[in-house]
Amino acid sequence: MDHFFSPTLDELQRLTQRVVDETIAPRAAEVDEQGLWPAHSMAALGEAGLLGLQAPRSLGGHGQGLLALGALTEIIGRACPSSALCYGMHCVGTAVLAAKATPYQTETYLKPIAQGRHITTLALSERGSGVHFYLPATALHDEGGALRVRGTKQFITNGGHADSYVVSTVTAQGSETVGGDFSCVVLDARTEGLEWDEPWRGFGMRGNSSRALRIDARVPGQNLLGSQGDQAWYLFEVVTPYFLMAMAGTYLGIAGAAFEEAAGHVRGRRYAHNGESLADVETIQTRLAAMWIAVEKTRAMVREAGARGDAANPDALPYILACKADAGDTAVSVANDAMTLCGGMAYRDNSRIAQFLRDARASHVMSPTTDLLQLWTGRALLGLPLL
């Protein structure tokens, strides 16, 4: 038992592990090979009540925070990183919905999420602003109480499969967007005026269905989350910490699984000509130790970030910013070293290690990217504004 975890969180982890063992792990290779969106994973997590991790307890959810999100995505990420990414983005979307939910939004979105019947996700990224996800150009027009949303999002995890999409927008008048006034709107999947681009074919995270969406839709005013212009609050209090913990957990899961795969191979591999085991080679012993140290250091930082964030510790910010960058670097380097230790068996087409290495590389591309996070961590440590 990890000293960070409450008995409730221990129980949630055991439940998640059971879902992983019974449903998610057996189909992980298929998800990667076929670029299959893991409907089975999301359904099983829903049946176990885990889609409501961030939904309020009063609705039957778990009301959990950052530590739990990092811990559960780690468990799923060890088996199937695409499933962890899909689940993580659902949880981030749920946290955004829950942050300032009206009675209508509670009834329409949070209640079915808590009951395991609704998948949501986050649509922030756009071609025009790239890694600067906090600068959307998708326009929000007030049409006498109703809202007109116009724009194109890219790389939406769970794209085409979620039941709702939390979309970032900027207030517009006429054809002009009015700088800076950013708001989030929730769009139902069946809203008229949503047009999906081609299916996702990624280098890694092949099951996450990260697709582009053209939006020209009119939705009721009750779909606005919070008040118009709640930008800074949503971005830095909800989206960023929850997103970073979901991703840190996922990449930590990859790093841990790649280490175990390598350790297992080293223990079992023995040469026919002299009976020597790879485990007897000093260079390999040293390399394995370095991989283990990297994983454990990263795990400690991810746990610390989650615990401090949940406790609203005044020094939490640099931990939260740094832990996703660190977990991404650890996942890439440990998966890379695992490929070296496992030799040709790992380099063959679509080995588990090859999949881990491809999946881990998404960490350096997904915003906030590693470079941006290191910059923001430095600014946070110096007491400077992040942007």
Residues lying near ligand FAD in the complex (CB under 6 A) are found at 89, 121-125, 130-131, 133, 155-157, 202, 205, 208, 210, 362, 365-367, 369, 371-372
Q: Would you say 55 or 373 has its CB closer to ligand FAD?
A: 373
d(CA 19, CA 178): 46
Q: Which amino acid is at 69?
A: L
Q: Is 179 left (phi over 0), alpha (psi -120 to 50) or beta?
A: beta
d(CA 73, CA 198): 27
**Minimum gap (Å) between residue 134 Cβ and ligand FAD:** 10
Q: Would you say 66 or 89 has its CB closer to ligand FAD?
A: 89
**Minimum gap (Å) between residue 105 Cβ and ligand FAD:** 20
Q: Which residue of this chain has its Cβ atom nearest to ligand FAD in the complex? A: 130
Q: Would you say 157 or 171 has its CB closer to ligand FAD?
A: 157
Q: Pick from 252, 254, 280: which is nearest to 266 by CA? A: 280
Contact (Cβ atoms closer than 8 angstroms) between residue 222 and residue 105: yes
Element (H, E) at 109: none
| Partners of 184 in beta bridges | 168, 225
Q: Pick from 278, 257, 290, 253: which is nearest to 343 by CA? A: 278
Query: Whole-angstrom distance between the N-terminal and C-terminal Cα of the chain?
Result: 39
Q: Would you say 53 or 59 has its CB closer to ligand FAD?
A: 53
Q: Which amino acid is at 338?
A: A
Q: Would you say 202 or 256 has its CB closer to ligand FAD?
A: 202
**Minimum gap (Å) between residue 265 Cβ and ligand FAD:** 27
**Minimum gap (Å) between residue 39 Cβ and ligand FAD:** 17
**Minimum gap (Å) between residue 165 Cβ and ligand FAD:** 9
Q: Would you say 202 or 306 has its CB closer to ligand FAD?
A: 202
Query: How far, in whole angstroms, is CA 159 from its chain's centroid?
Result: 14
Q: Would you say 12 or 332 has its CB closer to ligand FAD?
A: 332
**Minimum gap (Å) between residue 179 Cβ and ligand FAD:** 19
**Minimum gap (Å) between residue 332 Cβ and ligand FAD:** 13
Q: Pick from 172, 147, 89, 141: which is nearest to 362 by CA? A: 89
Element (H, E) at 119: none
Quote the radius of gyration of the chain (alpha carbons, Å): 21
